[in-house]
């Protein structure tokens, strides 16, 4: 019986996903590949011309129309694509005969046979990979341990299951939580679909769940510090960088090129956006050069969709939906307000409520991308703020000041700002 691999993308990453698919076929001719598109195509786009392995999520997943609208509005692109992952697994279980099903992020490239994963699934129902596998008294990774704790133990750019009761149980549980808890939100300790998997070792025993420490699986920027790449007889292999390690050598199976600028990679420029201070490992250049060449050599595939606009990135009139708008909507819905179509700009819509309060204006600052590292003049702004809070401290005293700043942690969330739209929840806007 055949097995399958699938990925989920917005339509601009279809080309990147097709490059993943080609790398799959080079090493795994008997594995089928599918691209699930969590997006809409324009009316003048001929969907019939798409390859048969490209599936439009809205047409195939068991998600109601109202849930689809709700999720596609309140989640940003990354959150939405990951929120439908369990529903996609369910589709392959319910609508196909595949025995073993693997999910891979579209920015992954396959270097070898997936047979080691299929062998793991012979005796287990679920296979996951942790972000890191090396214990160190003094941590050497560029992605901090606290950063890894905030994103979870396992990286869900990869997840493998086989058709079984245990896998079905996990998928049903996972799907239920991602309907409203797939945000990137440090306050609620969510990180898309990923951090939920930290529970799995509590729920499934070692006969059901396999946590793979195979160094050749899910090689990625967050674990470059522990994995050394080398070439042997035209085969890429990996070993632990620590000489004392007993892990041995492994063949590279797949690499996760997370956080790179793929358009720049096509031009030969390797830019890592997520880990700004990543070391320039000489051996890792083997991997980045191969992927950059793959994108460049397949630029026709890559360029075909890369400029496509995300369907759920704007209101119906083309105005950009900001993260602030998505979280305000989430909060209002959780307070009992109903919006049949939050993308609408007509009548008594959410858009009109936001516009009345001046919340739909464009800005030179991209609030969703702004951080203390890239915001200009942050030092001067901080100096002014600190001066103001010193005066506040003198005015109210220590106890009231400490209570106030504790309150401000909750109050600073976008969801709490519903008081700017309505006074109906003035006594409960920090709880939702």
Cα(251)–Cα(232) distance, integer angstroms: 10
pTM of the model: 0.93
Comparing CA positions, the residue from 4, 59, 36 lying closest to residue 106 is 36
Domain residue limits at 373: 323-420
Band of pLDDT at residue 245, cut at 50, 70 and 90: low
pLDDT higher than threshold 90 for residue 196: yes
16-42 average pLDDT score: 95
Q: Are 238 and 293 found together in one domain?
A: yes
Q: Are 140 and 275 found together in one domain?
A: yes
Q: Which two tokens stand for residue 357?
A: 């309060």
Contact 66, 119 (CB under 8 A): no
Q: What is the reported pLDDT for 427?
A: 85
8-state DSSP, 367: T
By DSSP bridging, strand 108-110 and strand 126-128 are unpaired
Instruction: Give the count of domains, the chain.
Output: 2
- Three-state DSSP class for residue 161: strand
Percentage of the residues of the chain whose pLDDT score is greater than 70? 95
- Greater confidence (79 vs 362) lies with 79
Q: Are 182 and 99 found together in one domain?
A: yes
Q: Which residue in the block uniquely carries the two structure tokens 């989920």?
A: 8
Q: Are 280 and 402 found together in one domain?
A: no
Q: Are 329 and 229 found together in one domain?
A: no
Is 317 within the bounds of a domain? no
pLDDT higher than threshold 70 for residue 225: yes
Cα(328)–Cα(350) distance, integer angstroms: 9
Q: Give me the sheet containing 249-251, strands edge to edge.
A: 227-232, 235-240, 249-251
Q: What is the reported pLDDT for 362?
A: 81
pLDDT digits (tens, 9 = 90+) for 145-179: 999 999 999 999 999 999 999 999 999 999 999 99
Q: Are 56 and 139 found together in one domain?
A: yes
pLDDT digits (tens, 9 = 90+) for 35-65: 999 999 877 777 778 889 999 999 999 999 9
405-416 average pLDDT score: 90
Q: Which residue in the block uniquely carries the two structure tokens 């041995």?
A: 248
Q: Which two tokens stand for residue 152?
A: 């979870």
126-142 average pLDDT score: 96
Cα(130)–Cα(140) distance, integer angstroms: 16
């Amino acid at each position: 019986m055949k097995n399958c691999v699938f990925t989920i993308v917005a339509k601009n990453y279809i080309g990147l996903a097709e490059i993943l698919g080609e790398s799959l076929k080079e090493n795994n001719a008997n594995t089928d590949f599918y691209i699930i598109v969590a997006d809409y195509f324009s009316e003048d786009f001929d969907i019939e011309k798409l390859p048969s392995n490209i599936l439009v999520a809205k047409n195939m997943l068991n998600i109601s129309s109202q849930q689809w609208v709700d999720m596609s509005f309140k989640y940003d692109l990354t959150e939405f694509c990951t929120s439908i992952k369990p529903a996609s697994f369910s589709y392959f279980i319910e609508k196909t005969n595949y025995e073993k099903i693997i999910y891979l992020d579209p920015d992954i490239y396959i270097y070898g046979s997936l047979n080691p994963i299929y062998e793991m699934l012979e005796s287990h129902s679920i296979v996951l990979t942790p972000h890191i596998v090396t214990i160190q008294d003094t941590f050497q990774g560029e992605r901090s341990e606290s950063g890894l704790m905030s994103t979870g133990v396992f990286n869900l750019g990869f997840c493998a299951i086989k058709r079984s009761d245990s896998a079905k149980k996990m998928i049903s549980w996972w799907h239920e939580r991602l309907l409203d808890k797939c945000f990137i939100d440090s306050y609620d300790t969510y990180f898309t679909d990923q951090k939920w998997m930290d529970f799995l070792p509590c729920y499934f025993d070692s006969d059901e769940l396999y946590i793979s420490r195979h160094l050749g699986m899910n090689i990625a920027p967050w674990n470059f510090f522990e994995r050394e790449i080398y070439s042997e007889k035209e085969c890429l292999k990996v070993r632990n960088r620590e000489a004392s390690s007993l892990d041995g050598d492994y063949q590279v199976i797949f690499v996760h090129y997370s956080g790179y600028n793929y358009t720049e990679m096509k031009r030969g420029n390797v830019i890592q956006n997520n880990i700004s201070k990543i070391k320039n490992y000489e051996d890792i250049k083997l991997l980045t050069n191969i992927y950059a060449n793959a994108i460049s050599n397949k630029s026709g595939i890559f360029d075909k969709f890369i400029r496509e606009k995300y369907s759920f990135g704007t209101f119906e009139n083309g105005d950009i939906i900001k993260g602030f708008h998505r979280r305000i909507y989430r909060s209002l819905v959780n307070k009992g307000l109903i919006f049949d179509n939050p993308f609408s700009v007509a009548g008594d819509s959410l858009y009109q409520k936001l516009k009345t309060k001046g919340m739909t204006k464009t800005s030179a600052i991209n609030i969703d991308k702004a951080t203390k590292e890239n915001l200009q003049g942050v030092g001067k702004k901080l100096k002014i703020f600190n001066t103001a809070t010193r005066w506040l401290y003198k005015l109210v005293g220590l106890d009231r000041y400490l209570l106030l700043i504790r309150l401000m942690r909750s109050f600073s969330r976008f969801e709490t700002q519903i008081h700017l739209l309505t006074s109906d929840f003035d006594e409960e806007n920090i709880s939702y």
